[in-house]
Structure 1
């Protein structure tokens, strides 16, 4: 170990209060995994790009910082814990959340009561991952190195990048369908996707501060619009009784997978949005504000979606106009059928507000992908953060245009796949933190990552055995459905987490015993 590394490792003050912003890739550590702290040549392409980013940051207030550790400096860490509430309230008080709710009756033919129960209990999940942000000053995929290892973190960061593209695609499809319905089919899905993408790109490039400002206020008109939607739909709402039997059980489990995928999708980027809060912020405050911001919109808006869809589709549709509108233009058509006949052109204005709500969700993905992709390699981390929102936008626009006519199917497939890998990710991170680090944020050594990789492979095996998708039904997933439901019941995320956890504990113990970290 070099003298510089020894000095850093033995001096807590240097670790807690770095005097300059350095990339986590070059942060000296006690295990020798990090690279040497070499400055970027100011005359190189990377050097000139970083200098330009810095000038933009100073001139416009745009954030240029990438995955560098945020210094534990009171003048920098100025955010308050309540910011966690607004960021997640706005990100989930959106049209795609409503879209998740409609899947219970439309795809899985559930009644109102069983849809609402699944939504409630599945969304009651921990927001603990968000507590890592203030304590470490690191983004979520960067702090993942302390459980997944250097190279394992690259795997989950890549998966998170793919997830961010998927989220942006699904959200844009929902918004585009709604814009098409508002315009009475005078604009195409492609135009709707591009409009949403451009607005999202501007905010995503602006960075952390502007994302927080937008999210702090954007949820208000959206929440009001959902109340108006409830008022317009109220007299038509009916209770569709629960079914019983093995087919009902398998459909409940499959819908749970969809809801879980949506809710747990935030854990891979939760701490990206509170790294500017003081390191002394109590963990319980971070958890409480995050959990509250998530649970209210997730449950209430998904309930609204399920209630309206019970009337328009599913096992016992009772409103032919709503059913026809949904069949013709899916989510956008359904909203148009509920709002416009009651409140006229004001209903179209409400639909436009719901379209704009998509931006509140998409900017989270666009911003976080730029951080996650920087974990993949040293040279990538040197590319200014401002570049990546443009890259992700260029990727998801054509994908969203291509899939604009299949919102429900695309959403179901994507949510399940998202839940599979995130179940493994969460289990590994939390087991490492509580079992092997005993809940301490004193991350002094990063593991090799062998145990995490083994857990990932066994978790993937559990996924394959428990999943029930159109394109593949696992052996256990098929058993859940039985003869009553040939499509099976999806328990992929449950088995993924269980298999990963069972294997990770002994594998990590062996890794520590024989490798030392």
Structure 2
């Protein structure tokens, strides 16, 4: 800490914001959901915040950040955090699925990557505008559309998603680390190493996350450029299939791409709540969009190119068949540049941390929305909890990266299509697209002034029905999914989940506002 930070701590202030930690009224009992202003819980919370300040951990939780506590005026920081979070090994892993899992050609893989990402990245980019405008984390601002209790449910789903993301990312890194060590260590050891590095960085919150993500993309970018250089002479354009089978592959691969990109929507405003309320929302949108779209498209294109080349390169395919993502990277890099290839593989392993740290940080925030008493638990506990949960699960799935990734991304896409549709329709239809209509400072924690949530719950049921009839998974293929893709199945789950929700939510919300007020 600097000398100024020490002064803030001595005054009992948040070392990040330089203002009183507690939002006025949060612990004064004037809100519908608040810890008692005195008694054991209030004392416990005070001790927690004192401990967190001494450790340099961000003390503020889901409380609204007042306008006087917004020191982060660098809107380009939105680009840096998402650039680092997506210039990572799992993004490359998404790209290889086009040729190697869905048997697509290089051309149609790249076109699917481009168009699905161009559209999907708009969703988390726009969601990020809620952070500066409302001063609230993403799950907290969900109360304005999902209701006070409905937001608890979506926060629970987001906690599950954070665990799932962490598992997928850690499996990708563990497979690669195992290959670097020439399989002298187990994937389980790789999982533990990556998880512990993530844990150390994820403990300290907003400020350290931004500092780390500002530069983490640079070594990852260099590593991907090296990978492109050594693989370039082997790249080929695998012919594009035609017919219903190809349509099914495009839809299913597109669903995976959608799930990966839209996954940031449930936490995108967690990382800019300290930016000024008067920040131009279109600048916030564009800085975030830039940070998302470039790595999503370019890194996935590289993955698709390497995956397509593996379809005709027997050595690469043998390595992928035996050891999936880690084996493929080893087969591409090590024969070409020897020890240098292993060095760049290690850099790509460490890139996983830049993605996982987002999930570890947001997990604790989502838990705090579920219960005010969970919010009173010391911040440093929750990164330890999520780490303890995902380590054994990642170890179990360590040898099944592609299948786990496909299943998780599709399911993630289903529920996030519903979640985002409700939030955006509430914003544009019922609040006229104006963040000022939320009156966030007065209403964010008063359930009597928030929606009941019946409309969101009812439309979610319809959205789930849409996902069920449109999905095409190993464990279930809906009638519409089967009709589109024939025996192969074409996944229309997220499209129909969003469409069913979009049609029903305005109707339910109209009657909710009219009769329940």
Query: What is the TM-score with the length of structure 1 in the denominator?
Result: 0.91
Partner of 1:206 in structure 2?
A: 204
1:54 partnered with 2:50 = yes
Partner of 1:67 in structure 2?
A: 62
How many Å separate the matches in 1 of 2:20 and 2:510? Answer: 36
Superposed CA offset, 1:423-469 (max 9, x none): 00110000000100001213144210110001100000000000000
Among residues 287, 299, 317, which one is paired with 1:301 in the alignment? 299
Aligned-pair CA distance for 1:21: 2.0
How many Å separate the matches in 1 of 2:34 and 2:296? Answer: 45
Unaligned segments of structure 2, at least 5 residues: 1-18, 440-448
Among residues 452, 471, 474, which one is paired with 1:470 in the alignment? 474
Aligned-pair CA distance for 1:377: 1.3
How many Å separate the matches in 2 of 1:334 and 1:499? Answer: 40
How many Å separate the matches in 2 of 1:415 and 1:50? Answer: 40
Partner of 1:279 in structure 2?
A: 277
How many Å separate the matches in 1 of 2:179 and 2:507? Answer: 55
Partner of 1:443 in structure 2?
A: 438
Aligned to 2:264, the other structure's residue is in SS state coil
Unaligned segments of structure 1, at least 5 residues: 1-17
Tell me: CA distance 1:24–1:145, structure 2 relative to 1, closer, same or farther (3 Å): farther
Partner of 1:493 in structure 2?
A: 494
Tell me: CA distance 1:347–1:210, structure 2 relative to 1, closer, same or farther (3 Å): same
Aligned-pair CA distance for 1:64: 2.1
Aligned-pair CA distance for 1:60: 4.0
Cα pair 2:48 2:376 within 8 Å, conserved = no
1:354 partnered with 2:348 = yes
Aligned-pair CA distance for 1:481: 1.1
Partner of 1:11 in structure 2?
A: none
How many Å separate the matches in 1 of 2:28 and 2:355? Answer: 32
RMSD (Å), alpha carbons = 1.7
How many Å separate the matches in 1 of 2:277 and 2:495? Answer: 34
Aligned-pair CA distance for 1:507: 0.6
Partner of 2:74 in structure 1?
A: 80
Partner of 1:266 in structure 2?
A: 264
How many Å separate the matches in 2 of 1:79 and 1:413? Answer: 39
How many Å separate the matches in 2 of 1:27 and 1:501? Answer: 39
Partner of 1:380 in structure 2?
A: 374
Tell me: CA distance 1:36–1:275, structure 2 relative to 1, closer, same or farther (3 Å): closer
Partner of 1:218 in structure 2?
A: 216
How many Å separate the matches in 1 of 2:332 and 2:59? Answer: 44
Cα pair 1:65 1:385 within 8 Å, conserved = no
Cα pair 1:94 1:357 within 8 Å, conserved = yes
Cα pair 1:104 1:306 within 8 Å, conserved = yes
Partner of 1:114 in structure 2?
A: 108
How many Å separate the matches in 1 of 2:25 and 2:206? Answer: 19
Tell me: CA distance 1:488–1:136, structure 2 relative to 1, closer, same or farther (3 Å): same
Tell me: CA distance 1:46–1:100, structure 2 relative to 1, closer, same or farther (3 Å): farther
